[in-house]
Structure 1
Amino acid sequence: MALVALAVWRVGSDEPYRADLSPRTAAPTARAGAAASVTQELVRALAAGDADAAADLAPAGDDRARALLGAVAHNARDLRLTDLSARYVDEVGAVSSDGSWTAALDLTWALDGFDQQPARAEVLAHFAPDGQGVAVTDLGGGDRISPTWLRGRLAVRRTPDVLVMAGGDQASREARGYLQRVRRAIPVVRRVLPGWRPAVVVEVPASPLELDHALGVAEGTYTDIAAVTAAADGDPRAGGPVRVFVNPVVTGRLRGAGAQVVISHELTHVATDATTAAPDPWLQEGFADYVALRDVDLPVTTTAGRAIASVRRDGVPDGLPGPADFDTSATDLEAAYELAWLACVEIAAEAGERGLVRVYRAAAGGASTTQALGTVGLTRAEVLRGWQESLSRLAS
């Protein structure tokens, strides 16, 4: 079409054709080699905990980027990061008109004394031309996992078996408060699981949005969730690094006992390797609540209030909660957790606490729920019937 249009123009015009020989400005391109070199300089600065060296990798005059890179170096030092490496992978998206671009980095890191294996994730980094070189303008964000320690200055508190990192304006207070909660939760979990040897890492991002970034999920996924236990790098492999991620807004709204139950619940997941185990969700979540609520002096009308309201509204359920009931977007998520807890209370009432632990371990080890219940002489139908009768009594 372009050739035809040119021919018509030449025939119908008295003006001679003159080619446009004016110089054209080349489109900006990513300078991958220079960015890869800067990435290695950043790794060396972080490994040394050298905030000034890290900040010097920001563009001249970009105070925000300087502050961020310096903060990340402080975090690396305070967290005692080991196995730290980063490799420039490739550009992500188009290069902007000002020459800046985003790239993926293959990042590895570990927390000394806590992680048996290093975490590994593909994270985003942002680069821009800076004079004759290339500078780092930002780290993390986007739709990839963004480790909390990459996103801003953290307060870090630790004991030999607990490490808490917290961001945001109240970071120091948050870190201190959650360290105390974890230390109170450890004996709660060990009363039911005495063989557990704790090594707990808790991350408290600055906001629910930063929580989503840390987990590499769509924005808003965990807006209404108090906390979640997950692999640090999104890979739930055996022996991989595990974190308890806390939503500071939701947990901050809870009263003291409620916040403590949340932490005890999540530590039960840590103690039972819940990120790699695969029992039915009602058994996994109900067992964690059983441990967390075991010694809490609250009436069942409080601890199962939403489940009771659900039964009064909709009647006794035909079956135990299914996977969809535990989705973060489920409309009656809290009721599902309470119903699951009451099912585990029913198992403990029939088989004893040791029996409940035995059922859970069997299911976590790969047995079906029916097979796991059979190890203590129970059937699924018996548990379902007893659970339904209990719900009927509570709702009457």
Structure 2
Amino acid sequence: MVVLVVVLTRDGRQEVAPGQLSEAPRASPAEAAAALTAFVDAVETRDAQALAQLAPPQLPAADELLSDIAANVRSLDLAAVDARYVDQVGAVAPDGSWSGVAELTWRVRGFDEAPARSDVVVSFAPSGDGLGIVEFASSDAAGTRLPLWLRGRLSVSRSDDVLVMADGPPSVAKAAAARTVRGIDVVRRVLPDWSSPVVVEVPATAAALDETLGARPGTYAGIAAVTAPVGRASDGDGPVHVFVNPDVSDGLRRVGAQVVMSHELVHVATDAVRKPVEPWLLEGFADYVALRGTRLPDRVTLGRAIAAARRDGVPDALPTAADFDTRTRDLQARYEEAWLACRIIAERLGEEGLVQVYDDASSQPVTEALAAAGLPVGALSHTWQEVLRKIAR
């Protein structure tokens, strides 16, 4: 685009002579696509030097990032990596740098059956005769997310069944892997047929977790961990990983951190992300399995529910979907109330009966699943209220 410069003088405006016309920087989708193609080629061939050469020479931080990404690609054994230029984001800076959205796909070989797919913001800058890659980011406005392996060098712990990637020292990955291994054993005591591998991601902060999942800032600030799709939630066959919030989980005691991990692994084992189970049953069942062997007293496992009941009275009904919003008041009390309901179901119908109700509730309303099992929801609610009222005295 040619720009005609206009100079203001005392007598008015004066056009600059044609020989003084300047060319303003502009985005080049073709050069961006070429840079992304070079990125994918280097990833596929595990060519760390080729990746580093994509960094503009005047930006050493970009060189470091791309070197870190090369290390992540090897340690995670990423496959099916692709990057397609989609659109420009924002304006071109005077130095010729600009950003664009790219559709990215990837999977962890040996763990993810299908690739994840997500949009990522890529920053470009002039480099030689084309564009280099400066960094990767997320953007609320663009509806994008930032995969953990594009943030910087990760610590990785892997075995046949468990892979943990952590944005932190190796001790973080090893600790999460140990909790995952123990959690798998906890889950299999109730669900012995489950055998799928597990991937756990540990961002450095809660804010990084929000970026990794493409969520609004603060969405997961109070959540210790979450099981979620790695890429677009609309991709029904995409991989599902466990994501840990270190800002919360690091403050938990050993037993609490283990219960959190075991809870999330129940969601993985039951494909909870894609099953339309009533939230109180979904979360209560996961806590039932996770807490099953802990032998903790009610004053601990129901501490927040007891405090809420003493303050506001016993709830009129079992928790609703709105009660499990990540920013809702007394969220932990709602989890404990859901666990109590599932404990009552297990006491009335046996553990196998609880598992059957959970399975049936994925294909029919929970009221019908309970009625078929011989425990109408009204009777469950009444007993649940009476037990909560008694322990809250």
Q: Same fold (TM over 0.5)?
A: yes
Shift, 1:236, TM fit: 5.3
Give the one of 100, 123, 131 matched to 1:126.
123
CA contact (8 A) 1:237 1:276 kept: no
Shift, 1:239, TM fit: 3.5
SS of alignment partner, residue 116 of structure 1: coil
Give the one of 72, 76, 79 matched to 1:79.
76
Structure 2 counterpart of 1:251, one-letter code: S
Give the one of 356, 359, 364 matched to 1:358.
356
Does residue 297 (structure 1) correspond to residue 295 (structure 2)? The answer is: yes
Give the one of 378, 383, 386 matched to 1:386.
383
> How many corresponding residue pairs?
380
**Corresponding position of 1:329:** 327
CA contact (8 A) 1:282 1:322 kept: yes
Distance 1:19 1:253, change over 3 A: closer
Structure 2 counterpart of 1:166, one-letter code: A
CA contact (8 A) 1:236 1:276 kept: no
Distance 1:392 1:138, change over 3 A: same
CA contact (8 A) 2:304 2:332 kept: yes
Q: How does 1:312-327 map to 2 (within 5 A)?
A: 312-327=310-325
2:84 & 2:329 partners in 1: Cα distance? 42
Structure 1 counterpart of 2:207, one-letter code: L
Q: How does 1:19-30 map to 2 (within 5 A)?
A: 20-22=16-18, 23-30=20-27
2:349 & 2:13 partners in 1: Cα distance? 95
With 16-25 and 273-282 compared, the bigger mean Cα shift is at 16-25
**Corresponding position of 1:166:** 166
Instruction: Point out where structure 2 has 5 or more consecutive residues left out of the alignment.
Output: 1-9
SS of alignment partner, residue 114 of structure 2: coil
% identical equivalent positions: 50
**Corresponding position of 1:140:** 137
**Corresponding position of 1:6:** none
2:200 & 2:15 partners in 1: Cα distance? 66
**Corresponding position of 1:272:** 270
Does residue 69 (structure 1) correspond to residue 66 (structure 2)? The answer is: yes
CA RMSD of aligned residues (A): 1.6
**Corresponding position of 2:253:** 255
Distance 1:17 1:258, change over 3 A: closer
Runs in 1 of length 4+ with deviation above 4 angstroms?
A: 15-20
**Corresponding position of 2:189:** 191
SS of alignment partner, residue 344 of structure 1: helix
CA contact (8 A) 1:145 1:214 kept: yes
2:336 & 2:14 partners in 1: Cα distance? 80
2:83 & 2:113 partners in 1: Cα distance? 19
Instruction: Point out where structure 1 has 5 or more consecutive residues left out of the alignment.
Output: 1-12
CA contact (8 A) 2:117 2:238 kept: no
Structure 2 counterpart of 1:346, one-letter code: I
2:230 & 2:246 partners in 1: Cα distance? 18
Q: So what's the TM-score if we normalise by structure 1?
A: 0.93
Give the one of 161, 174, 177 matched to 1:176.
174
Shift, 1:330, TM fit: 0.6
**Corresponding position of 1:9:** none
Structure 2 counterpart of 1:266, one-letter code: E
Structure 1 counterpart of 2:157, one-letter code: R
1:342 & 1:94 partners in 2: Cα distance? 54
Distance 1:97 1:346, change over 3 A: same
Shift, 1:297, TM fit: 2.2
- Deviation sequence 1:75-97 (CA, Å, 0-9, x none): 11111111111111111122122
**Corresponding position of 1:90:** 87
**Corresponding position of 2:96:** 99
Distance 1:82 1:383, change over 3 A: same
Shift, 1:48, TM fit: 2.3
Distance 1:19 1:51, change over 3 A: closer
With 180-189 and 141-150 compared, the bigger mean Cα shift is at 141-150
**Corresponding position of 2:368:** 371
